[in-house]
Amino acid sequence: MIKTTNENNNSFAAVFKQAFEQDVLSSAVKLPTDKASYPPRAQLFLHQLNRFWQQNGESAINFRSYAVNEHKLFEYALFLRGYMRDAQKVLANLTQQHAASDDLIELFHASAEYVVACNHQLHDKRIFDNNVGYHTWQIDLTHGLKNAVYQKPPFTPSKPDKPALYLFMPFRIEPDNRQISKWVYLNMRNTLDNAPFVNGQTDVFAVHYPIQKSRSSNIDALLRTLHRPSDYFETPDLEFVHRNWLPYIAENLQIDTNGTVQTAQPYSPQKLCAAFRRINIFTYCAGTANAHRCLAALQHIGAQIYGKELTQKAMTGIFLCSYGFLPMQQKLPYSGVHIYSHFPNDINHLEPFVNLNNHTLYEQTKCTTAQYPARFSVMPDERNIVVALRLPNKFSIIKDNRVTPYHDSEFGHSMTNINSPNILDADNFAHRLFKSVLQNSCVGKRGKEVLDMSAATPQNIIQTAVLWGNRQTLQL
């Protein structure tokens, strides 16, 4: 049934169709008769495109009238999320119900299936697999992040009596030391060069998908997480918990492939809560959805042993710091600080991915004044804090021992906004706050205490106190 009212139509249908006409159809050969044929893999994806367009008030395209270059169709399928990111006019008026609608999920699922079906068919060296799981690396920071040593499995998981920090990164890379060291350094830079990381008090791990995981497949999982955040998880998330977090839940714990507990020796309630409190997570962008699902799997397993009430109590001790991704629920099962950056006057340059994932919360929490470097907002659960950072007008960093001007082309989504000192800013509130949050969480602080910047400049300390005094408590 074709929807006809603007209120019901998903504006991204028009965005996708315009992009298809520009990037795929413009180079296609128009045929005098409807004789164009496509392999089944392309037929299924094109059918889903037409279905999405028609469901949202756009006319269908008669693909049999065009000889479409399948290489261009392949690239188009991989870049669907990019078209959404670049649609700034749509983001400004985004209806939250369309950010993760059923028909949008179906389209990304079809895109993911299509790119896998193209393996070995288009003379493209990229090979995709929708069923690959996470890669986890243990990081030795004894000699600093720039000289960190990365160990791939098998390694001994962190013990429940020792704090651990898990970096859930959104990048998809080849699982080799050169790639992981490059990408972790680019994203974390100057944030892990202090205690408790360099002295070994906290175990540090990096988590990412391999390059075989297509962007479409990753976004398909992200949208399903947004659509059903309270209990959704996938097989890779369950496998991650099995490899890394079982010691936090119980002794001698065994589960089957569905996450059903087979045997376990429960901890006391006090030991369970203490163990969960030692799980600390940093997530960037889509890595937040990945970690959220892994925590849903953790909760699913724990509830079978301890019941729902005790498991939920223990879950509140887990800490998650995110950047570039806002909370998906009014009451999250864990505690955290959720950071994003933007310009106070963001009419023409909205933070793209924060808007895509939670436009409503973005509008409610953003920093609208140049007077302060940030704005604090407390979620209804009173355990999660949203920090909207004001982007500076000028930004330069030290890169390769040289002063390098920096410009965030994604209007506030780059990690550089918080992982590197701005040499043009004497106080560097954004960077020092982020660094303090990571450090404070890993020594057991929670709630307001995580924002403590006692090791920073007096100006930073004063600013934090003023911002906390002016905080808003969200009523969602």
pLDDT (tens digit, 9 = 90+) per residue, 92-124? 988 888 989 999 999 999 999 999 999 999 999
Q: Is the pLDDT of residue 4 over 90?
A: no
Q: Percent of the chain having pLDDT more than 70? A: 99
| 389 and 430 Cβ atoms separated by less than 8 Å | yes
- The tokens describing 332, both together, are 């999250």
Helix, strand or coil for residue 207? strand
Q: Is the pLDDT of residue 2 over 70?
A: no
pLDDT reported for residue 1:
37
H-helix or E-strand containing 225? Answer: helix 215-227
Nearest alpha-carbon partner for 332 in 373, 375, 283, 374: 283
- The tokens describing 151, both together, are 């160990």
pLDDT (tens digit, 9 = 90+) per residue, 272-302? 999 999 999 999 999 999 999 999 999 999 9
pLDDT reported for residue 6:
64
Nearest alpha-carbon partner for 253 in 244, 243, 263: 263
| 110 and 45 Cβ atoms separated by less than 8 Å | yes
Average pLDDT over residues 443-461: 91
pLDDT (tens digit, 9 = 90+) per residue, 339-354? 999 999 888 889 999 9
Beta-strand runs (E) in 256-401 = 261-266, 279-284, 319-323, 335-342, 374-378, 384-390, 396-399
- The tokens describing 366, both together, are 């953003």
Q: In whole angstroms, give the CA distance from residue 54 to residue 345.
A: 36
Apex 267 CA angle, 266 and 268, nearest 5:
120
| 398 and 404 Cβ atoms separated by less than 8 Å | yes
- The tokens describing 39, both together, are 């392999």
Q: Is the pLDDT of residue 476 over 90?
A: no
pLDDT (tens digit, 9 = 90+) per residue, 59-75? 999 999 999 999 999 99
- The tokens describing 399, both together, are 């890169």
Q: Is the pLDDT of residue 207 over 70?
A: yes
H-helix or E-strand containing 102? Answer: helix 102-117
Q: In whole angstroms, give the CA distance from residue 125 to residue 422.
A: 39
Beta bridge partner(s), residue 397: 404
The residues, any chain, with a CB within 8 Å of residue 107's CB and separated by 6 or more, are 16, 48, 49, 52, 80
Average pLDDT over residues 245-260: 96
| 117 and 41 Cβ atoms separated by less than 8 Å | yes
pLDDT (tens digit, 9 = 90+) per residue, 6-18? 678 999 999 999 9
pLDDT reported for residue 3:
42
H helices then E strands: how many in the chain?
Answer: 17, 16
The residues, any chain, with a CB within 8 Å of residue 321's CB and separated by 6 or more, are 280, 281, 282, 283, 336, 337, 338, 339, 434, 437, 438, 441
Average pLDDT over residues 401-430: 93
Q: Quick one: how far is CA 7 from the chain centroid? A: 28
Q: In whole angstroms, give the CA distance from residue 299 to residue 152.
A: 26
Place of tokens 């399948």: 70
- What sign for the dihedral angle of Cα 332, 337, 342, 347? positive
pTM metric for this prediction: 0.96
